[in-house]
């Protein structure tokens, strides 16, 4: 069983390093991707992504059980980040910026109501 987990971890690890996944969305700290149209993962993209890029899970047992899954070198983290970076920047520009602009319009409307 341990050998199978290692193989599975290596498979997903390599998919991320080669950019062989679908980008779904992101926020300030994590990006959501789907591998093989079936398996969804969160990747940590916050705090200087080139240094901290990795699989993200609220359950530490997840990555501890599959030691081949996390990126162990700065080179791997940088390679993974470089693959997802264009998607993250475009998403932040197109989607997150539009949300912030909508929020700003709502606040301006509220402010104008309060001032009248």
Residue 73 DSSP one-character state: S
Q: Which residues of the chain have pLDDT under 50?
A: none
- pTM greater than 0.85: no
Which domain range does residue 49 map to?
2-84
Q: What's the pLDDT score for residue 116?
A: 85
Q: For 61-89, what is each residue's pLDDT tens digit?
A: 555 667 667 888 888 988 999 999 999 88
Q: What total number of domains does the chain contain?
A: 1
Q: Is residue 19 part of a domain?
A: yes
Q: Is residue 97 part of a domain?
A: no
Residue 71, φ and ψ in degrees, nearest 5: -85, 125
Q: What's the pLDDT score for residue 52?
A: 76
Q: Is residue 67 part of a domain?
A: yes
Q: Where are the beta strands (DSSP E) in 1-116?
A: 22-26, 30-35, 39-44, 54-56
Q: Is residue 11 part of a domain?
A: yes
Q: Is residue 92 part of a domain?
A: no
Q: CA angle, corner 94, sides to 91 and 96, nearest 5? A: 70
Q: What's the pLDDT score for residue 64?
A: 61
Q: Is residue 59 part of a domain?
A: yes
Q: Is residue 89 part of a domain?
A: no
Q: What's the pLDDT score for residue 56?
A: 77
């Amino acid at each position: 069983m341990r050998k199978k987990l290692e193989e599975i971890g290596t498979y997903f690890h390599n998919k991320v390093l080669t950019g062989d996944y679908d980008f779904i969305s992101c926020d300030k700290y994590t990006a959501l991707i789907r591998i093989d149209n079936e398996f969804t993962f969160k990747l940590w993209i916050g705090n200087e992504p080139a240094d901290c890029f990795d699989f993200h899970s609220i359950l530490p047992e997840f990555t501890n059980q599959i030691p081949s899954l996390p990126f162990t070198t700065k080179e791997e983290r940088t390679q993974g980040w470089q693959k997802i970076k264009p998607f993250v920047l475009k998403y932040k520009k197109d989607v997150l910026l539009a949300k912030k602009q909508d929020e700003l319009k709502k606040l301006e409307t509220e402010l104008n109501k309060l001032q009248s």
